[in-house]
Structure 1
Amino acid sequence: MQFNVGLCAGAASEPVIVPKHLYSPTYLLRIRRGNSFELATFLVSLLLGLGYNAYVVSGYASREQTLCDRRMLPCPYLPREKEAEPPPPSVDKSKYRPKSPPDFKSKFIEEMEARERRKVEAELEERENQRIRMITEHERPPPDRYFGQRIHAWVLLLPNLPDTSVGPASEITESLFIEPSTGVSYPPREPATGNLYLGIESIWNNRNYWVNMQNCTEACTGLEWDLSDVKLWEHFLAGEPRELRNVEDDEDEEVQVRRDFHMVMPASYVERIEIPYEDYELRYPNGKKTIYFKKCRVDLYGPYLRPDGLIERVTQYREYEYRTRTFINEYFSNRSDGLVRSDKDVVKEIVSDHYALGRKDFCKVHQYFANSSGTVDEERTIEFYAGRRFDELRRMKMNPFYASQDYENRDDRLYNRFVEFSPYSEEYVENNIHYRNLAKIVEKFHRNEELPASKDVAVREFNFVDNEIRLTYHYDVGEYTQATRTFIKPPVTERGDKLVFTPDMTYAYNPNPLALPENFDDLIEELEKLLNEEELSVMQVRKAESEIFKFLSVRAKEYSKPELEVYAFDPIRNEEALAGLMAKVEKLKAQSKRELEGKVDFLQPYFARIGNLKYLTLKQATEIRDACLNDFKQALVNRANHILREFEKCSDELENWQSALTNSEGMSKEEKESLLEKVNKANLRLRTLEVRLARHRDLASFRYNRVVEIVKSDKRLSILYER
């Protein structure tokens, strides 16, 4: 939750005057605006309620910090680039190494070349230093006539005393500054912090008021934070807690307080701070906020404020004046299509959409051009989540003249399929996504150690222009070339029940001169297999085109009319969510009823026992009816008992895990997380079993009555109801 920030002193013309009065934190919640002292008091009140050792700091800060001017600071909202891991060092395992040839190059020439390289490097370094100096000079702020005199307030966090830290407050181990207007934290001893916060006059919280007795010539970097040392910090009020005072252990506390008693900290005069959920979710004043950084603009929005779910937009510019955009990062939340981020390179006109796991197509990243018209043959790249698709497709690249598919962990060891299309199509049909003719399909496979290298296909090419099938096998041990084989495909008219194949329709190369020639029947069988594989590959290519067409159609609908998900436990929008949830429950109930109303012959197994007689006696009809109803009733009882047994078993496991989690003093962090995960899964399982049991209880009587009606209306048992 953030506020509009006013000047720390209340007026731009008098930045050195302390505000004469402060609004209370509860009033600040209503107006959503305040100066630095009011914001610091509000934040300290919240931190104290959470158990932090927090203080309001009154001191002096730089002009940029007091005015909340961050136009020359690097943007913290920019996505961090992942550093590429260095490749592992190559280890030469060869036993014998040839000697290096003698170096006949002139030493004088080498020295002259090295001198020229050093000269070029020195020129490049000088240019870079000059560029850095120009940037530094441009970013240097203008002189401030009030430097060191601008009044400002911020927040100080100190470590809690031993055995008093609870919850997240125990994570504070060193002193920390927090700017209340931005929420950014600064270590006090960092030199960069000394350029922002120039000095401290006093600090205070709900316990006391301390005056700084230390020299601030080095800003705040050299200050000590032992508040019990009166030489460093002089406390103003007596009666503070004993642990904050430097007194002897044998001194009576009451006597010491009476001797130093002259003033006590007044009681709080404000109401309890309560932030409504609507205001907390809104995050910013009016739900949106704009922040300017160096060559960067950040627009922040509250959840559900925009119909497209946008919560953050980071725009990078080429100039300091924010004129020419170069890159845009957009972040989304609660999108039903799973869109979480969109990166737009304005210069290259490339857009990359990132999706969360959960889409039906398992798309992870979709990269395309910004001026794309949404056709299948345009250049685009689609990445999928690993291990989610049945075909193990990991990446798909599409281009007007080629397509590429990358696979992982396939049983047939296929890892890439490359498709080349003909540049021109003889027959173009409007709205036909398969209009491009195939020129060739190249498939690559990993090594299969169970087969000899000369029989294990590494590359398989179906060439439709030359009417050939070309095979390239894997390298064998000690070989410098690969075995190959080429088949000339017979005409389609000669591919009947018996394939027409002659020896001149294939030729091969084998680097092993001692290899045996291939059997002619084996070659015919292999050619038939390859022709079938060619048809399957063509089907996969056309299927990929259809899949991209469907993906683009769904994506166009998602972008034109974006929908936001509303969670069932949302306290603001739960009415619509609950209505939708109840509609789903009613739909499931109706589906169960339709299943019962379907044509199911419950009596057929019982007629089969007596030989499917055409006519029944009264005794036989009565036995069949009673047996059917009793068995169905017993099945309902058995199902309920099974759910109850599972419920009791899960309850016992949950109790054991909760007991182990309670006595987890000697466990590691990983063991505790594992136990907590088991407890959460058990709770979800219990809830599921409870819902199943309630649903079974609600439908049991209806199902039984429905079966009774079906049995009663069966004409084969009409003898029971004849008068």
Structure 2
Amino acid sequence: GGQGGGGGGGGDDDKKEGYEVKQRPVLDSNFVMTQDKLVRLDEEMVRKELTPADNDGSNEEVAAAEDPLNGLRIHCWVLVRAGKREMTEDVFVEASTGNMCPTDQSPYLGIEAVFNHKNYWVDMQQCPVSRMRFTLDDFQAWEFVFMESTVSAPKAQSDEDAKPEGGDGQQADNTVAMQGTEEIRESDHVLDLPPSWVERLFIDRALFLQRYAKENDEIKKTKDYRKSRVELFAENSLKHGMVQRITVFSDLARSNAVEVQEVFANRKDKLRKRVRYYKPGTQIQIGQPESLIQEYFDPGRPDALMELVELPDGREFTFYHKATLDGMVQRIERFTRNRAPTKNLAMHKVIETFEGHEQRLNYRSITFEPIDPNTDAPQVKLQIEHPRKMTHKFDRNPDEEADRDLRKRTFFTGLRPPKIHLVFHYGPDRITAATRTYTTEKTINGDNFTMSEYVVDPFAKPMKFTEQRDEYIKLIGEEKAAISDFRDADREAQKILETRENDEKHPQLVKSLYVQLQDKKQFEANKPKEEDADAALKYDYLASYLPKRSKKTALTKQEAQAVKDACLKALKERLIDRAHIIETRLEEEQAALTKRQLGYHRQDKEKSSDDDEYEKYVHEAQFKIQILKQRRDRHEEIAKQKFKEMIERLQSDPRLSILNQ
């Protein structure tokens, strides 16, 4: 027992010396500490934004310390008040930049005065611009200088309104308003607006539309830069409607143009801009200097053309697809060689893209057989009849299964034997798509086909031979329809090109009403005066009854009487013919109504089921008869009046004055 106790005593000394437990350090995350610091900074910034008034003084003091002229500079800008021009709030317009901002977000430090063409108002408010009131008839905020104020003084209230319903407070407010009125009326030191020492500005509309001076027989303004030249033209001054031309040169002498930008206005064909590029050794067409032409159009063309690009080896059409019937977005044509004006195009490929097509078509292309460079290409329509390959791509149809929803269809018409390859959409969670290929084999008995397919779903039922045959026959029909569609698309493209060529040969401008009136006045002023006599003779009411001889020869009494009788006879016949037409139509309507009434009364009343229809017909027929009777009576009155006026006109005609002697 003693040894055990001794051993225990020795163990306590060893524990204190060799087995002391160390304290674990506190572990901190640098990421968490950084995030906490960012959160505290965000909260501090939000707090500063919510309480900007606390920092206004300090910010102004800092700005003043940095800029010794802070608040001392004089500047003018424009104030557009609410109430007119469809303005709902007061707005500042910076004159140097044209930028607009509401008055409560003003970047300006202060306002001394506001003025217009009739008066001058001095600012009496001691507050920042963002809190100013721009009610110019408030005399506590604004003090006017001249009596010719466009702002009327506050009107005194009526006796009933001036009654103090709320006590002395309301009466005090009315007193303040009256004091403002008396101040206007009794002030002796208010200035009168002096007359202007300059004449009223007047600019002739024709000169205003002209805009620029005459330069080299053209109304334009030219400015040269280091390697470019800018020319500005007045609207409608040029027959093709150009208003701006920017020419970029490759040399400092400005003799070798590499790019020309032309801007148009008021073109009837909606041409807005044209860019021409020039590159030595590269031409769109033989005999044409441009290497690239880009044309841009505004909406409104019948063919919905938005952009047309002419390249040496191709052509690109871009459309406003929402204005096209099939939703075409772009048509790209590629050629195997450069174009020649007297030779057919050697087509390589045509690509068309769609958006919003009714059959979910988004891509269509046709590839042609290669043509030897040394041989002439056949006509484009013949090249379309024998393509090398045709491809169609479709968007996903959510109502169809992915394995049955066609994504791409390719007709390999140039292969021997021809093939039709189908690719379907990817199914959910699939990395492969189903495919199907039909191969046409020509035999003595006719065309046969073989089908090979790749099925993604191993549990899918295989197609029956009858289903394969029906699909193959359908694809053959779609192949013919595709060739027809490409033929129609090429015809539409050629029509667009012919229209563009005609528009460039005979450009037409949309002129304003003022310009049209001026052109009409100019045309009438330049018209030969001999035509006036011919026009008067053309509309002469006696021209067809006068004898065919010299115009200056006077008529005899017998001739004048014959002319008068013939004119009155012709008028009488016209009036009688008109009355006969009205009477005939009236008799036809009455006869038709009588016939319908007799037929209705003869039929069996118990078996009749068209009473409503009969009543409707009778009502319409009676209405027509009433209108025709009114027209007949009115024609009789008008005929008498016309006959009387014609007699008076003949009596006052100087050519028939011999009858009055």
TM-score computed with the length of structure 2 as normaliser:
0.49
Higher relative contact order (CA 8 A, sep 6+): 1
TM-score computed with the length of structure 1 as normaliser:
0.45
Query: Which of structures 1 and 2 has the bigger CA Rg?
Result: 2
